[in-house]
Amino acid sequence: MLKALEKTHHQAGPVESSFLFDQVAALLRYDPSVRSGEQDASAAMSAAAGRVWSVLGDRRVFDRTAVDGLRAELTWLSESLAPLSRCTPVHDPDRSNTRGTALGSAYEAAYDRALAALETDRYFRLVADLQRLCSAPPVTQTRRSHLYGRHLYRG
């Protein structure tokens, strides 16, 4: 699915493309676990989204105008997953405990929010955009040296 990154003719450097590929793959790999409510997977998916966001911000490598929208969507995804990463699931057999019920309700609300985000068209567009990004990364064009930089006036 993401092997197309290695075959592009306008590639980022080997380190950046490999890191980007690995982080996008990690982000997508955690999706099923987050959907099943695994708290650690939520934190890991959010962290992978943050690393993709960070590498896309490198102006020396990626065309910012082409990736700014994608970076905004990665922020949205991380914000949607963050409450689930921070909540503690409560496995209290005695649900009469008020504190346990409140914590359980907070976890359930965070899980519902994360799951709702992963089931939106917005998320599926983000996944498609990440796949396109890996197949044809919008790299910054190399700047040519200024015309006058090579021919200094020696008077």
Q: Where residue 78 falls among pLDDT bands split at 50, 70, 90?
A: very high
Q: Flag whether pLDDT at 92 surpasses 60.
A: no
Tell whether 147 is covered by a domain: no
d(CA 60, CA 66): 13
Q: Is residue 46 part of a domain?
A: yes
Domain span at residue 22?
3-133
Report if residue 138 sits inside a domain: no
| 151 lies in some domain | no
Return the pLDDT at 13. 55
Give the separation between CA 95 and CA 62, rounded to whole angstroms: 52
Question: Taking residues 84-109, what's their average pLDDT?
Answer: 65
Residue 85 lies in a domain: yes
Mean pLDDT lowest among 11-15, 42-46, 58-62 = 11-15
Question: Average pLDDT of 71-89?
Answer: 91
As for how many domains the chain has, the answer is: 1
Q: How far apart are CA 136 and CA 9, in angstroms?
A: 8
Burial class (CB in 10 A: 0-12, 13-18, 19+), 26: middle
Q: How far is CA 154 from each of CA 31, 84, 113, 148, 151, rounded to the nearest angstrom?
A: 63, 66, 67, 12, 9
Residue 55 inside a domain? The answer is yes
Residue 45 domain-assigned?
yes
Q: Is residue 108 part of a domain?
A: yes
